[in-house]
Amino acid sequence: MADIALAPAAESPAQLRLARRLSAGARCAIPVALLLGIGFLAPLMAIFGYAFATPRSFDVFRSFTLENFATLFDPANTVWVSFVWSCGLALTTVAILAVVAYPIAYGLNVVFGRWSPFISVLFVFPLFVSENVRLYGWVLFYIKNGVLDGTLKWLGLSGGPEVLFTPGITLFGMVYTYLPFMLFPMTLGLALVPRDLIDAARDLGAGRLFIWREIELPLAMPGILIGMLLTFVLAIGATAEAKILGGQSIIVISHDIEIAFTYSQNWPLGSAMAVVVTFFIGGLTLFALSKLDLDRMLGRR
C-alpha cells in the first residue's frame, strides 16, 4: 500500500520528475484529486454539455441551444413550483433541526460525560440504515391500521390522524433523515468553545443568557453554520421523503429532474435543471466554506 502512494502515478520519467517537484502534501492529494476529477467534475461537465443540447435528443456536445433554459424559466412551466417547494422545505428543515439538535449537541459536550460516545454512536447508526428502510418504517407507523392507528384503536380511541401523503409529513421525514448532519457539525462547533471561557465570563458577572449570546453562540457558529449548510443542501436534493412519505403530494426539484431523465426521456431538460441546482448549491457551499477555517474545526491547534 505504501509503495502505491509514495510514488503515485509515476510511470514515465517525465511523470516521475513532476512527482518529485510536487511537495509531499500534493503527492498525497493526487489519488483523491484524480478520483474527484473523473468521478465528480467530469459528470458535471457532461451535465453541463447536455444542458445546451437539443431538447429530447442525445446530441451532447454537437448541438448548442438555450431552449432548455428557456423552458425552465417559462412561467407556464411548473418547475419553479418544485424549486420553491424544495427551498421552502429545506429552509424549514434547517430551522427545525437547529432547535432540535442544539440541546443534544450541548448535552454531548457538557452533560452526558462518559455516556457521550455511546449516545453519539446511537445517533450515527441510522446513517448506516438505508433511508428507504427508515422512511418506510414511518409509513408503517402512520398508515391506516398501522402502529399508531392500530394502537389507538386498540385502546378504544378513534384512531390516528391521517398525516401520510401530505407536505407536512414530507417535512417531518426530512427533519428525521437529516438530524445527524446537523447534530455532528454542531457538536464539533460547541466543542470548540473552551470551558474556561464560559467560566471566565461567569466569573466576570455574566448570566446564562448573556454567556450564550456573547460567547457560546459566536464561538460555536462555524460548526452550526456547517450543519445548517449541510442540511440545507441535502434537503434541497432530497427525493425519498417526498416520494415515500409524501406520496408525491408535492414534487420536489430533484424529483422533477429524475422525471425528466426517466419518464419523459428529456435528458437535456433534466440537465438544465441539474445545472441550475448545481450552481445554486455550489455557489452557496463555496461561499460558506470560504468563511470557515477547517483546521480549527477539525482539531489542528
Partner 1 sequence: MKARRTNALIWGWTLFVLVAIYLPIVCGALASFNKSRYFGFPIKVYSTEWWSKTIDSIEIGMIVKTSISVALLVTLFSVVIATFGALAFARYDWKGRRLYQKLILLPIFFPQPVLGLAMLLGFNAVGIQTSWMTAVFAHMVWIVPVVTLVIAIQVYGFDASLEEAAFDLGCSRVQVFREVTLPLLWPGIWSGMLFAFLLSWSNFPLSLYTTGADSTIPEWLYAKMVAGYTPMVPALGTMATLGAAALLLTGGLVGLLVRRRAAA
Partner 2 sequence: MLQTLPAGAPGAETPAAPILQLVGVRKTFGGFTAVQGIDLDVREGEFLTIVGPSGSGKTTLLRMLAGMDTPSEGNITLHGELINDIPPNRRPTCLVFQSLALFPHKSVGENIAFPLKVKGVDAAARKARALELMRVVRLPEDYFDKNVMKCSGGERQRVALARAFAYDPEVLFFDEPLSALDYKLKKALEKELKDLHRETGKTFIYITHSLEEAMVMSDRIGVMRAGRLVQVGTPEEIYGAPVDRFVSEFVGEVNTIRVKREADGGWAGVDVPGRFTLAPPRDGTALDEAFVVVRPEFMRFLGPGDSADNRLEGIVYNEYSLGSRIQYQIRVDAGAAGEKVFLVELSRSRALPPGTDRAVTLGWDAADAFTLGS
Chain positions contacting partner 2, by CB under 8 A:
194, 196-197, 199-207, 210, 214-215, 218-219
For partner 2, the closer of residues 25 and 205 by Cβ is 205
Residue 76 binds: one of partner 1, partner 2, none (C-beta under 5 to 8 A by kind): none
Cell 428507504 belongs to 132
Residue 167 binds: one of partner 1, partner 2, none (C-beta under 5 to 8 A by kind): none
Q: Is 244 in the site for partner 1 (CB under 8 A)?
A: yes
The nearest distance, CB 192 to partner 2, in angstroms, is: 10
In terms of C-beta density within 10 A (0-12 exposed, 13-18 middle, 19 or more buried), how is residue 59 classed? middle
Residue from 104, 169, 174, 215 in contact with partner 1 (CB under 8 A): 104
The nearest distance, CB 218 to partner 2, in angstroms, is: 5
Of 266-285, which residues contact partner 1 (CB under 8 A)?
Answer: 267, 270-271, 274, 277-278, 281-282, 285
Residue 205 binds: one of partner 2, partner 1, none (C-beta under 5 to 8 A by kind): partner 2
Q: Is 3 in the site for partner 1 (CB under 8 A)?
A: yes
Q: Is 203 in the site for partner 1 (CB under 8 A)?
A: no
Residue 89 binds: one of partner 2, partner 1, none (C-beta under 5 to 8 A by kind): none
The nearest distance, CB 214 to partner 1, in angstroms, is: 19
Per-residue contact string for residues 175-194; x = within reach of partner 1 by CB under 8 A: -x--x---------------
Interface with partner 1 (CB under 8 A), residue total: 98
Q: Is 100 in the site for partner 1 (CB under 8 A)?
A: yes
The nearest distance, CB 203 to partner 2, in angstroms, is: 4
In terms of C-beta density within 10 A (0-12 exposed, 13-18 middle, 19 or more buried), how is residue 92 classed? middle
Q: Is 31 in the site for partner 1 (CB under 8 A)?
A: yes
The nearest distance, CB 28 to partner 1, in angstroms, is: 4
Residue 73 binds: one of partner 1, partner 2, none (C-beta under 5 to 8 A by kind): none
For partner 1, the closer of residues 221 and 281 by Cβ is 281
Residue 215 binds: one of partner 1, partner 2, none (C-beta under 5 to 8 A by kind): partner 2
Please state the φ and ψ torsions of residue 15, each to the nearest 5 degrees: -65, -35
The nearest distance, CB 76 to partner 1, in angstroms, is: 24
Of 208-227, which residues contact partner 1 (CB under 8 A)?
Answer: none
In terms of C-beta density within 10 A (0-12 exposed, 13-18 middle, 19 or more buried), how is residue 130 classed? exposed
Q: If DSSP states are collapsed to H, E and C, what string results for the chain?
A: CHHHHHCCCCCCHHHHHHHHHCCHHHHHHHHHHHHHHHHHHHHHHHHHHHHCCCCCCCCCCCCCCCHHHHHHCCCCCCHHHHHHHHHHHHHHHHHHHHHHHHHHHHHHHHHCHHHHHHHHHHHHHHHHCCHHHHHHHHHHHHCCCCHHHHHHHHCCCCCCCCCCCCHHHHHHHHHHHHHHHHHHHHHHHHHCCCHHHHHHHHHCCCCHHHHHHHHHHHHHHHHHHHHHHHHHHHHHCCCHHHHHHCCCCCCCHHHHHHHHHCCCCCHHHHHHHHHHHHHHHHHHHHHHHHCCCHHHHHCCC
